[in-house]
Amino acid sequence: MTSDDPVVGVLSIQGDVREHINALGAAGARAVPVGSADQLVDIDGLVIPGGESTTMSKLALRDGLMEPLRAARRAGMPMFGSCAGMIMLADRVEDARPDQETVGGIDMTVRRNAFGRQVDSFELEVPVAALGEEPFPAVFIRAPWVEGVGEDVEILATVPRGGRDGTIVAVRQGGLVATAFHPELTGDSRVHEYFVSMVRQTQVRKRE
């Protein structure tokens, strides 16, 4: 690590924080847990981890984090959400509690637990062109999927699951990226490397 490495926070109110911190370190970032609004000013990018999206939303509201997270996103902070984090970055959520709030920012509709319950978890080799020719060993745990996206959203990966072809499981819109699967559980750091490269690009643009 060097002083030029980006500082990437992992939202630490709920979910698999440690695994993301380890994966970000392997991807060349200085990773730190973020559990309060004042810590957002010290980071260059943020990961919203997998976990339970309803609980995560409630805790973010309780701790006064939701509005600062939205403000950071609007100000251009790169963010990556995995599984529950994908739900947190969605503008619209199906099968959610009526009072569930999100950070938003990606023009997509996400369906919670679309792939089934914990017992329906699975692993699948998923082609992701942005990561190279080798498929990514994706881990799906109570995973959402994307029902639909707006015209400014880039579809990064789809899988033939849920009784239909082309089910969307990874997207990007500007400085926001989200996956329905858990890359932090695989030992393959390519998704985190992809996100860290986005953070570096944002740093360069800010200096110009």
pLDDT digits (tens, 9 = 90+) for 23-59: 999 999 999 999 999 999 999 999 999 988 999 999 9
Active-site residue, selected from the candidate residues 20, 182, 192, 193: 182
7-207: CATH topology is: Rossmann fold (3.40.50)
Q: DSSP alpha helices (H): ranges in 106-189?
A: none
For the chain, give every domain's residue range: 7-207
Q: Does 182 participate in catalysis according to the annotation?
A: yes
Question: pLDDT tens per residue, the chain (208 residues)?
Answer: 555 789 999 999 988 899 999 999 999 999 999 999 999 999 999 999 998 899 999 999 999 999 999 999 999 999 999 999 999 999 999 988 888 899 999 999 999 988 877 656 889 999 999 999 999 999 999 899 999 999 999 999 999 875 566 899 999 999 999 999 999 999 999 999 999 999 999 887 776 5
How far apart are alpha carbons 192 and 25 in whole angstroms? 9
Its pTM surpasses 0.85: yes
Which residue is catalytic, options 19, 20, 67, 83?
83
Marked catalytic residue, from 184, 192, 193, 208: 184
